[in-house]
Homo-oligomer: A and B are copies of this chain.
Amino acid sequence: MGSRVEKETPLRRDARRNREMLIAAAREIYTDQGVDAPLDDIARRAGVGSATLYRRFAGRAELIEAVFGDSLRDILRAAEEARSATDAWAGLTAYLERIFGLLAADRGTNDLMTTGIQGVPSLDALRKENHKTLDDLLRRAQLQGKVRADATAEDLQFMLAALGRAVPGSTVAAPLAWRRYLALLLDGLRPEGSHPLPAPSLTPEQLGAAMLQLGKVRRPRAGRTD
Q: Judging by beta carbons under 8 Å apart, are A223 and B220 in contact?
A: no
Which residues of A (101-144) have their CB < 8 Å from a CB of B? 111, 114-118, 131
One digit per residue, 1 when the CB lies within 8 angstroms of any chain B CB and 0 when it does not, for chain A 185-226 equals 111111111101100011110111011111101111111000
Chain B residue nearest to A112 in the complex (CB): B215
Q: A193 to B203: give the CA distance in the assembly, Å.
A: 28
Provided the pairs A116-B208, A188-B184 are in contact, do residues A150 and B197 lie with their beta carbons within 8 angstroms? yes
Q: A224 to B206: give the CA distance in the assembly, Å.
A: 29
Provided the pairs A162-B163, A188-B188, A217-B220 are in contact, do residues A204 and B154 lie with their beta carbons within 8 angstroms? yes
Q: A189 to B221: give the CA distance in the assembly, Å.
A: 39
Q: A222 to B218: give the CA distance in the assembly, Å.
A: 11
Provided the pairs A161-B166, A166-B162 are in contact, do residues A151 and B184 lie with their beta carbons within 8 angstroms? yes
**Residues in chain B near residue A74, CB distance under 8 A:** none
Pick from B114, B148, B187, B202: contact of A154, CB below 8 A.
B202
Chain B residue nearest to A150 in the complex (CB): B197
Q: A188 to B166: give the CA distance in the assembly, Å.
A: 18
**Residues in chain B near residue A148, CB distance under 8 A:** 194
Q: Judging by beta carbons under 8 Å apart, are A161 and B214 in contact?
A: yes
Q: A163 to B220: give the CA distance in the assembly, Å.
A: 22
Q: A119 to B70: give the CA distance in the assembly, Å.
A: 43
A-B contact pairs, 23 of them (CB 8 A): A111-B215, A115-B214, A116-B211, A116-B212, A118-B212, A154-B202, A154-B203, A155-B180, A155-B201, A157-B207, A158-B166, A158-B170, A158-B177, A158-B181, A158-B207, A158-B210, A159-B163, A159-B184, A161-B210, A162-B181, A186-B188, A218-B220, A221-B222
